[in-house]
Amino acid sequence: MKIRALPRRAAEGPSILGRSAVAAPLSFVALVCLILLVLAGWHEWMTRSDVLRDAAKDAANLARSLTQHADDTFEMSDAALIGIVERLETRGQAPEELDRLSRFMALRVTTLPRIRGLFVYDKTGAWIASSLPSLPVGFNNSDRAYFQRHLRSPERSSFLGTPVLSRSSGEWIVTLSRRYDAPDGSFAGVVLATLDASYFFEHYAHFNVGPHGAIALMHRDGTVMARYPDGPTTVGRNLSRGPLFQQGLPNAPSGNLRYVSPVDGRDRISGYRSSSRLPVVLLVALDVEDALAPWRSDALWRFGAVLVLVGLIASVGWWSIRQAELRQCAEVARLETETNFRLLAEHSGDMVSRIGPDGRRRYVSPASLKIIGRRPEDLLGRNVFEDVHPDDQAELERTVEALKRGQVGEVIVTYRHRHQDGRDIWLESSVHVSLDPHSGEPDGVVATSRDVSDRKALEDALRSMAATDGLTGLANRRRFDEALAAGRSYAIGRGSPLALLMIDVDNFKGFNDHYGHQAGDDCLKKVASAIASKVQVSGAVIARYGGEEMAVVLPHTELRTACEVAEEVREGVEALRLEHARNTAGSWVTVSIGVACRSFAVSERDDDVEADLVMVADKALYAAKNNGRNQIMPPVTGAWEVRDRLGPRTFGACRARVVN
């Protein structure tokens, strides 16, 4: 550096100007450092909010799934009660009948491990039959709430009670009961199914809700039926004065709620859901401290790195001011920033990649070995898309091109990537454009990637549980409604037809009465499998509509083709040759099928089309059953054939060919 001396008088003026010239850049550097700290703090706060939001979403999803599990458990138990009530009211209470009934109930308990026991009480509350090896002596249950409820009320529906201590075992149980009547319609007694509260506790233990999280199944009156991880210690406790029942449920039957737990005083963020079918509420509560622990650890590292970066910028700025080399100062800051970027990338658990305009990697952090099984040096110079799954490659390429053109600034993409060991893993990458420091033009993109395969697997499992019927493996009623709505949208968008088959197993109640409910369940499974094997229409959805009734949604299918598919299904079920002694349509298990079909014009609006399709198919199904069963029936006269592309003559020919 070269310094030129000046006369004294002349030097005094510039010294003041020099101090001013130093003060202004120094203030600017201080302002930049402050902005960086504020931005870093804001970013960490927003990240914290995202963590809590994701925790609330996970809790709500798990609550939805566990509510379905509770509904299925109680409905399965109720199905057993219905069968026992039917036997009592049709076969009476003779000693030999009660003895056979006890053996039947013992067999049902062995086939339904969720049920602890089945019991029958007469109108005085005395035990007259049970699934236990022998009847207890000296016990009377007339004082139980469920017995008093059925004694006073003529309602025939099931009653889910609050937990009680079992008189036979001394353990907490959940009761589900039904009333049965004498031939004259008067009260004859109560049929009871009991479930161990510990069954729900053991089931909830399979879900990871953190070291301080909790899962609670509660009666709608606020009584705890089961709570993990407390086991039986909180069963029977009433929490109706707690925040869930005072703040959450009065506003919405499901949602999220943050509160301080009345059980252990911990701050929790929860997802809750009230069953639409039973008086139960499911609560999944995640501890806020548990949810924030990973973020807090990472935030300390990130904020520490920001502090280091701010210190470096301040030091470089001061040095630059002292040297009066603003351009050199900017270059030093850029180099320091690049160094810190590499420092952060080298120590990050995420894989950081810098990709040039040609799509080839220019930099890869060491985390690539942990995430995709490849060393950074093996990836340098290789095209970033070569290991992306073919189904995801085109969309990922379009996203990167949009970034390069400046259409978006930053995106988060999730896609499948080939691991070194040959399997496909799911990666989530945050991708943003990198700019040339001299020209300011885009010179590629930077991607920060992490492995989210476990999260994707959990999401897929939850979606499958929410859309599948537990007995037959077919789609459940919710999935059927979604498929019918999607089929309607597809048909309107393309001006194509939509067909629906409603299928009912003939005389199925007689089958259950004759062979038993276990055989009935096996029958439904085989019928469902036969239907699935015969429906080969692309995009078709086969669902259990309810009980022994099943439905098939056939997109882009004309009435004639729908009738042909229905006939193949009917023949396929009959070909099973499942013995059915009480079938009025033959000696085997058979089905009756109602067909509905509707053609659409492009952009046609008809908001009630799903309900109309079900109604028309139901009418055709009832016509098939009234006509002798074991047959298919297209839409009955006056329904929709005038809207269909088939004319009246073709429609009549179709009916004559497929109806026996």
Angle between helices 517-534 and 95-111 (to 10 degrees): 50
Contact (Cβ atoms closer than 8 angstroms) between residue 617 and residue 559: no
Q: Which of 532, 538, 570, 571 is nearest to 557 (CA)?
A: 538
The residues near 497 (Cβ < 8 Å, ≥ 6 apart) are 491, 556, 557, 558, 559, 597, 598, 599, 600, 644, 645
Residue 49 is encoded by which pair of tokens? 């909010």
Instruction: Give the strands of the sheet with 280-287, arranged side by side.
Output: 224-228, 214-219, 280-287, 267-274, 254-260
645 CB neighbour count, 10 Å cutoff: 12
Distance CA 658, CA 90 (A): 38
d(C-alpha 477, C-alpha 473), whole Å: 12
* Burial zone of 660 (CB within 10 Å; 0-12 exposed, 13-18 middle, 19+ buried): exposed
Query: What number of other Cβ atoms are within 10 A of residue 359's Cβ?
Result: 17
274, β-bridge pairs: 281
Structure tokens at 254: 């499901």
Beta strands across the sheet bearing 442-451? 361-364, 351-355, 442-451, 424-435, 410-418
Of 463, 492, 461, 467, which Cα lies nearest the Cα of 481? 467
Residue 305's φ and ψ, nearest 5 degrees, are -65, -40
d(CA 265, CA 437): 53
| Sequence-separated (6 or more) residues with CB below 8 Å from residue 375 | 368, 369
Number of CB atoms found within 10 A of residue 481's CB: 15
Q: CA dist 654 to 147, 593, 612, 614, 632, Å?
A: 56, 14, 22, 20, 10
3-state DSSP assignment of residue 460: helix
Residue 556: helix, strand or coil by DSSP? coil
Q: Which of 336, 401, 459, 548 is catalytic?
A: 548
Residues 6+ apart with CB under 8 A from 577: 588
- For residue 593, what is the enclosing H or E element? strand 591-598
Q: Rounded to an integer, what distance in angstroms lies between the CA atom of residue 367 and that of residue 106? A: 58
Pairing of the two strands 549-555 and 632-633: unpaired
Distance between CA atoms of residues 250 and 258, nearest Å = 15
**Ramachandran quadrant class, 104 (left: phi over 0; alpha: psi -120 to 50; beta: rest):** alpha
Q: Is 604 a catalytic residue?
A: no
The β-bridge partners of 217 are: 226, 282
Neighbours of 20 (CB within 10 A): 9
List beta partners, residue 544.
Answer: 550
Residues serving a catalytic function are 548
